[in-house]
A and B are shown apart, each in its own frame.
Chain A
Amino acid sequence: SQQGEEDPQALSIQEGENATMNCSYKTSINNLQWYRQNSGRGLVHLILIRSNEREKHSGRLRVTLDTSKKSSSLLITASRAADTASYFCATDNQAGTALIFGKGTTLSVSS
């Protein structure tokens, strides 16, 4: 079963616009991660935010975490066509032995 649910399932924007994706999860976590997957490829780690952090930045990425609402958001600023991919949030399972992924948001950035 999957822990996280991303919202929206699909997002289409123009280059230069910002893209916001949301993720909700069900159980308590130690950390939450965001991954990106280009079509037909493996996943690439983007950013990790720990449960005691509220916001984290990495380049054009901004991640927020609200543990009281069990939700996180990923903001990509000034999007580029190369940002076109699927984005997944992932949390650690209770045993701490694996990541539990959501279904992902498919982002399409057109030039």
Chain B
Amino acid sequence: GAGVSQSPRYKVAKRGQDVALRCDPISGHVSLFWYQQALGQGPEFLTYFQNEAQLDKSGLPSDRFFAERPEGSVSTLKIQRTQQEDSAVYLCASSLPLGGPEETQYFGPGTRLLVL
């Protein structure tokens, strides 16, 4: 079946604008993750959902970042009042339930955000 998809693939925002990034996980995947990847760095964890419950949001860098997954499938990462330091690639990943026999996270292609 289809993999994880993300939209938009590229987003240019003026500083101070709000942006919304969408993630469509693999059908049937209970767990969903958001990561932020700065240029030349590895991905850094932002937040984790199991179904619609946000179980860990310890990686969100500020209260300008908000994520939701209201029906336990599609997720949206919202960044309010964007700043230049928010420029990065935002990766979404999904997996079967943690602790199960399959723990691989499947990543989407990412949304590249540039804040001017």
Binding site for B on A (CB under 8 A): 2, 4, 31, 33, 35, 40-45, 48, 88, 90, 92-93, 95-104
Contacts and interface: CB of A to CB of B under 8 A. Distances in A.
Interface of B: 4, 33, 35, 40-45, 48, 55-56, 59, 91, 93, 98-99, 103-110, 112
Contacts of A101: 35, 42-44
A96 B104 contact: no
Contacts of A45: 104-106
A103 B42 contact: yes
A4 B98 CA distance: 21
Contact of A97 (B35, B98, B104, B109): B98
A43 B90 CA distance: 12
Given A2-B42, A42-B91, A104-B42, A98 B33 contact: yes
A42 B110 contact: yes
Contact of A100 (B40, B45, B112): B45
6 contacts: A41-B110, A43-B93, A44-B107, A45-B105, A45-B106, A88-B43
